Amino acid sequence: MTDPTPPSMSGEEMHALVERLYPLCRSITGDGLRRTLEIVGEHLPLTVTEVPTGTEVLDWNVPKEWNIRDAYVKDAAGRRVIDFRESNLHVVGYSVPVSGTYTLEELRPHLHTLPDQPDLVPYRTSYYAETWGFCLSRRVLDGLGEGPYEVLIDSTLADGSLTIAEHVVPGELADEVVVSCHVCHPSLANDNLAGVAVAVALARGLRRPRYTYRFLFMPGTIGAITWLALNRERVRLVAGGLTLACAGDPGALTYKRSRRGDAVIDRAVTYVLRDRPHEVLDFSPYGYDERQFCSPGFDLPFGSLTRTPYAQYPEYHTSGDNPGFVTPAAMADTLDALTQVVEVLEGNRTYLNLSPYGEPQLGRRGLYESLGGRSDTKQAQLAMLWVLNLSDGEHSLLDIARRSELPFAAVKGAALALLDAGLVKEKA
């Protein structure tokens, strides 16, 4: 069981981790990704795997590794009008090396802006097509003259490797609960870093769990595909999983169900969210890496937990998604919800009523007297009756809590009291 101890990181500590990681230029491969994992590794012991370029992973191949040292567009006076050092969002991810002089007209096909958000810089990538480009605010673009401009992208795109990191908290069972975060985006605080920080805090708070908990920190899409390709035998142990992203914005929590729709992880999360503002979405094969884990060949019980879903807040994939956009309170709320989900998963059992013919006499077993004086006496008595009635070997404690609309802790406490009194036994 997990210890009833508070989470090991406060909202402020999680926010500080986001701020520290924010300046790094991450991508699906490269040194920025490795440095990110090194910093995560200061908080959790990690097992790091490097998968060489060209490795076949399911229907994909591991791409070339991309690294960048500097990039700019300079005007005739030598002023950097677009500067990678100011923000790594200014360069299209995976841009090939460029060095030359261009007019504004020649540059325009390589410049990306957000006309409807003229003060923000967009995030753009080109992982699988060798091209190059810059991102800038529309307001800056509108202020540029015809040039000429000196253009430099000091990058490399060469054989290397893709990096995946894992942290495992061993449990009593080999069955695993998996939490997956993508760590491939550059300076975007909510769309990946808040999820990383919350995952770190959740992992640090686990103590002697029943399930084994596996935390995956890897690039989106190709990282999940690679992990699945390398762990085809292990996936049979996955009892439930969550992709975690967009975990720090002010919006309400949103859960997207797994492909199965009614897996234990689906029921646990939706039960925990019932008493707080939230939205529940049905599965769709679009989104984060739950779509890889839920692909039909694997069909793992994997849901997705966010606050405001991707692309549904104006700051999404822009320079507006900065540390000021995410809050310690929102990350603490996400962590609290996840902690409650873990408590439900850890405490969930299925029992058999050993006196199923009529209601057993609870008074002569001291069960009613043991509740005397408690502020929740009525709730505790009701929980006992629900547990007795539904402990038929088919309904778990989570099922009972959902149907009775009682707190899981009350249902679990009732089951343990009945177990001690010899009225129920755990189903083998």
Q: What is the DSSP string of 1-29?
A: ----PPPSS-HHHHHHHHHHHTTS---SS
pLDDT below 70 — which residues of the chain? Answer: 1-7, 369-375
| Res 375: pLDDT | 62
Q: 318 CB contacts (<8 Å, ≥6 apart)?
A: 89, 114, 117, 120, 121, 122, 123
Name residue 241's beta-bridge partners.
178, 302
The CATH 1.10.10.10 domain(s) of the chain lie at 349-426
| Res 1: pLDDT | 40
For residue 226, what are the CA distances in angstroms to 205, 238, 281, 282, 390?
A: 28, 17, 27, 26, 43
| Res 374: pLDDT | 59
Whether 370 contacts 357, CB under 8 Å: no
| Res 141: pLDDT | 97
CATH of 65-158, one of 3.50.30.90, 2.60.40.1260, 1.10.533.10, 3.30.565.10: 3.50.30.90
Please tell me what DSSP assigns to residue 389.
H
| Res 8: pLDDT | 74
Strand-strand pairing, 47-52 and 392-396: unpaired
Fold of domain 11-63+162-346: Aminopeptidase (3.40.630)
Architecture of the structural domain at 349-426 = Orthogonal Bundle (1.10)
How far, in whole angstroms, is CA 308 from its chain's centroid? 13
How far, in whole angstroms, is CA 418 from its chain's centroid? 37
| Res 3: pLDDT | 43
For residue 20, what are the CA distances in angstroms to 34, 35, 36, 207, 414?
A: 14, 11, 9, 27, 45
Instruction: Identify the helix (H) or strand (E) that includes residue 428.
Output: none
C-beta atoms surrounding 158 within 10 Å: 10
| Res 46: pLDDT | 97
The CATH 3.40.630.10 domain(s) of the chain lie at 11-63+162-346
Q: What share of the chain is helix, strand, coil (3-state, %, to 5)?
A: 35, 25, 45
Residue list for the binding site: 185, 191, 317
| Res 366: pLDDT | 80
The CATH 3.50.30.90 domain(s) of the chain lie at 65-158
C-beta atoms surrounding 371 within 10 Å: 18
How far, in whole angstroms, is CA 22 from its chain's centroid? 17
| Res 363: pLDDT | 81
Residue list for the binding site for Zn(2+): 185, 191, 317
What tokens appear for 35 in the block?
């440095």
